[in-house]
């Protein structure tokens, strides 16, 4: 991957000063490190779950992005959710769009947007729908292709699932990989910001995506993430962005197929270990909560029947391998011992 697609910028356009400050820092740091930015992203109209949340600066921000394009030579990219958004962008000369996950779930709306930009020389990036539906994602892409949009990209931002996970959105890697098999000519971009919801996990998820053959990354970047008016917890500074990009290994840097195969497996393993570490902490925190409930209600903190269900759950998913079963017995013994010790301290 000699020229990876790098898309960066804030979750939402908040003010002219915020956009220019972010763009200036990206320009300075990227120039110093020899990194190229493909698109400068900023949400102009943000579909928020809570109507009271900040939803972007609106149409006025389009002129700010044109100034950034003029001053820094960054190609601006914005989210559009309705045909009138596309019309406003066209009037301001903005021709790079992404379709958000909340929009992709609605084929009627996607078709209206596809009709609105039909024939325009624009770039369209289609994010996966919120739910893990490969056909719905593929259908959204096909609507733009059939309407004559020749430059279409796919963005993987993970899927909402009601399960315990360290990720904000589950990556479910097999879905974007299958999409790539269906559309091998379409660049596939990973959005680790929305997948992880956590800056500390962005680098590892980015590397997994690159090892799986993704063509680039979209990472939310803000001059002052702590003060961001939306998604403050998942945005990173331009300096952090440059550090992550510099740390990643792209395919062109791999000299040995064996080394590439090992790196891919080790990256996945590191990511799994990170999840295990986070989940173990969550488990201990829940044990502490249970201990308090038991104490307040005068319940015994050792309950063999409940622990038996835990053991049964683990063993039902165990490998059919004697060595693994021995390991699992030792692990469960330590896990139970730690749980009892933590609960006893709360009594």
d(CA 119, CA 191): 28
Q: Are 217 and 189 in contact (CB under 8 A)?
A: yes
DSSP for 163-180, please give it: S--SSSSB--THHHHHHH
Of 2 and 214, the one with more pLDDT: 214
d(CA 7, CA 4): 10
Long-range CB pairs of 199-203 (<8 Å, 24+ gap) are 199/225, 199/234, 199/235, 199/236, 199/240, 201/166, 201/167, 201/271, 201/274, 202/236, 202/244, 203/244, 203/247, 203/248
d(CA 194, CA 209): 14
**By mean pLDDT, which of 16-30, 44-58, 91-105 is the weakest?**
44-58
Of the candidates 93, 109, 104, the residue with the CA atom closest to the CA atom of residue 127: 104
Q: Give the residue ranges of DSSP H helices in the chain.
A: 16-33, 60-72, 83-92, 101-104, 107-116, 134-146, 174-182, 192-196, 199-211, 238-247, 257-296, 304-316, 322-346
Q: Are 199 and 236 in contact (CB under 8 A)?
A: yes
| Residue-wise pLDDT tens digits, 254-301 | 557 787 778 778 777 877 887 788 889 888 999 899 888 888 888 887
Q: Are 137 and 104 in contact (CB under 8 A)?
A: yes
Instruction: Look up tokens 């000699």; give the residue.
Output: 2
| Residue-wise pLDDT tens digits, 135-152 | 999 999 999 999 988 899
CA 319, distance to chain mean position in Å, is 31
Which tokens go with 170? 């589950």
Of the candidates 173, 172, 177, 170, the residue with the CA atom closest to the CA atom of residue 196: 170
User: pTM, whole model, 2 decimals?
Assistant: 0.79
d(CA 303, CA 79): 53
| Residue-wise pLDDT tens digits, 85-134 | 999 999 999 999 999 999 999 999 999 999 999 988 999 999 999 999 99
> What SS3 class is residue 98?
strand
- CATH homologous superfamily for the domain 258-346: Chorismate mutase (1.20.59.10)
Q: What is the pLDDT of the chain when averaged over all its residues?
A: 91
**What confidence category does residue 228 fall into, taking pLDDT thresholds of 50, 70 and 90?**
very high
Q: What are the residues facing 156 on neighbouring strands?
A: 190
The answer on pLDDT for 75 being more than 90 is yes
**By mean pLDDT, which of 44-58, 214-228, 237-251, 312-326 is the weakest?**
44-58
Neighbours of 322 (CB within 10 A): 8
Q: What pLDDT is stored for residue 128 in this prediction?
A: 98
d(CA 254, CA 179): 25
The answer on pLDDT for 71 being more than 70 is yes
d(CA 179, CA 233): 29
Of 302 and 326, the one with more pLDDT: 326
Instruction: Look up tokens 């921000």; give the residue.
Output: 61
Residue 82 half-sphere exposure toward CB, CA atoms < 13 A: 7
Q: What pLDDT is stored for residue 296 in this prediction?
A: 85
Enter the DSSP assignment of 219. E
Instruction: Look up tokens 């898309």; give the residue.
Output: 7
Whether domain 5-253 has CATH 1.10.150.20: no
**By mean pLDDT, which of 16-25, 50-59, 147-156, 267-276 is the weakest?**
267-276
The full set of domain ranges for the chain reads: 5-253, 258-346
| Residue-wise pLDDT tens digits, 174-193 | 899 999 989 999 999 999 99
d(CA 129, CA 169): 11
Q: What pLDDT is stored for residue 89 in this prediction?
A: 94
Enter the DSSP assignment of 130. S
Q: What pLDDT is stored for residue 324 in this prediction?
A: 93
Residue 235 phi/psi, 5° resolution?
Answer: -85, 155
Q: What pLDDT is stored for residue 302 in this prediction?
A: 79
**What confidence category does residue 314 fall into, taking pLDDT thresholds of 50, 70 and 90?**
very high
Q: What pLDDT is stored for residue 139 in this prediction?
A: 97
Rounded CA Rg of the chain = 23
Which tokens go with 199? 């800056």
Measured at the alpha carbon of residue 154, what is the angle toward residues 29 and 198, in degrees to the nearest 5?
50
């Amino acid at each position: 991957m000699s020229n990876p697609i790098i898309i960066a910028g804030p979750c939402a356009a908040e003010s002219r000063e915020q956009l220019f400050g972010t763009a200036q820092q990206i320009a300075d740091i990227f120039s110093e490190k020899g990194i190229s930015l493909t698109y400068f992203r900023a949400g102009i109209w943000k579909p928020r779950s809570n109507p009271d949340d900040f939803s972007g600066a609106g149409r006025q921000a389009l002129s700010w992005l044109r100034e950034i394009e003029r001053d820094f030579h960054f190609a601006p990219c914005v989210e559009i959710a309705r045909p009138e958004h596309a019309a406003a962008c066209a009037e301001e000369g903005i021709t790079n769009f992404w379709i958000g996950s909340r929009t992709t779930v609605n084929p009627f709306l996607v078709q209206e947007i596809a009709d609105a930009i039909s024939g325009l020389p624009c770039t369209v990036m289609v994010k996966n729908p919120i739910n893990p539906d490969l056909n719905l994602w593929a259908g959204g892409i096909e609507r733009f292709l059939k309407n004559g949009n020749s430059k279409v990209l796919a963005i993987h931002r993970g899927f909402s699932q009601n399960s315990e996970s360290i990720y904000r959105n589950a990556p479910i890697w097999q879905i974007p990989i299958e999409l790539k098999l269906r559309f091998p000519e379409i660049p596939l971009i990973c959005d680790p910001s929305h997948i992880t919801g956590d800056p500390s996990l962005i680098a590892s998820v980015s590397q997994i995506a690159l090892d799986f053959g993704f063509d680039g990354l979209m990472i939310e970047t803000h001059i002052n993430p702590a003060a961001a008016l939306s998604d403050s917890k998942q945005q990173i500074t331009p300096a952090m962005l440059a550090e992550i990009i510099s740390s990643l290994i792209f395919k062109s840097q791999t000299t040995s197929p064996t080394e590439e195969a090992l790196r891919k497996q080790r990256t996945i393993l590191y990511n799994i270990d990170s999840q295990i570490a986070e989940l173990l902490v969550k488990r201990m925190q829940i044990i502490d909560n249970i201990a308090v409930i038991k104490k307040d209600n005068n319940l015994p903190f050792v309950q063999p029947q409940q622990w038996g269900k835990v053991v049964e759950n683990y063993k039902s998913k165990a490998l059919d391998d004697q060595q693994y079963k021995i390991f699992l017995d030792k692990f469960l013994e330590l896990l139970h011992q730690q749980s009892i010790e933590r609960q006893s301290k709360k009594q």
